[in-house]
Amino acid sequence: MTVRTTSPSLPSPAAPSVATTAGTVAHARDVLGVSRLTNHALTGWLHGLPGVDQVGCEARAASLGTRSVKTTSKAWAIDLAIGMIDLTTLEGADTVGKVRSLCAKALVPDPLDPSTPRPAAVCVYGDMVATAKEALGDSGVRVAAVATAFPSGRASLAVKLADTRDAVRAGADEIDMVIDRGAFLSGEYLTVFNQIADVKAACGDTHLKVILETGELVTYDNVRRAAHLAMLAGGDFIKTSTGKVAPAATLPVTLVMLEAVRDWRELTGVQVGVKPAGGIRTTKDAIKYLVMVSEVAGEPWLSPDWFRFGASGLLNDLLLQRQKLVTGAYSGPDYVTID
């Protein structure tokens, strides 16, 4: 990982162009070099992608996970990781009070140190978007909403689009959708493509993160295919998991996805972000992911605009480790709020 002595100056995210399904289909035809986008054409293209060497992938992920980051670089990495968090609450028992408390934590992560960075976003269910928007105000912390019958994705397209539009109308800055894993695993790639493209069109100016639910895709080859399909259909980010299925984010799966976005930019010139979500709870784990981002995708992805962590408990450990670097001693767990 590149050593820095100060936090980088992060660019403001460029507003995405408003996509239309027809425009996305036309672009996909150009990428595939076909006159008509069919399931047969998508199948040939996706299955023509290079296969993933499972042993090699897992060995490289394990090797990258052993890299040591110390002192100044560690302080920079902790601040960067905090700024990459989508601070998340996605429980059936969520209340207005809980969401407001989470937003308060996003605004002031460490009351004892006002220099502490804020997380990138707060991620909630669609019915809590208005509450989060009001609580966050003009702070710059974005509101992400899960949609499209999260986490199962088992609903009609009309319901998925209504879910998306409702969250957008409420003020969501980002939409996290789930793909239809049943359709994908059945080889109905055109169905999955059309659903992503239609949701992207329903988002308007709102960024779209496409959740692959990699724990249900079984193989790394499927992860690579799903990642390319999501990017072909217009996703601004590809995301590992809902956090509701085990396994959620893993280093090897994230490695495959980082290779996919790197290759996609080389192929099309379009940069797409990556978001591992679920099971990332410690500073040590977060730094492993940042090393992987640097080594696999490259420095352009070392920004909240292009890499996020879907987490809640991770922030607490990052804050405790940050306090340790500043004071030389660990604070007790009661020095951070319980999420």
Residues carrying an active site annotation: 176, 239, 275
The contacts found for 38-41 with CB under 8 angstroms, 24 or more apart, are 38/190, 39/187, 39/188, 39/189, 39/190, 39/191
Residue 10, class by beta-carbon neighbours within 10 Å (0-12 exposed, 13-18 middle, 19+ buried)?
A: middle
- Cα angle at 271 between 23 and 6, to 5 degrees? 150
- Rg value, the chain, Cα: 19
What are residue 177's DSSP bridge partners? 210
- Cα angle at 226 between 222 and 232, to 5 degrees? 145
Q: Are 289 and 276 contacting, i.e. CB atoms less than 8 angstroms apart?
A: yes
Nearest CA to 121 among 202, 207, 204? 207
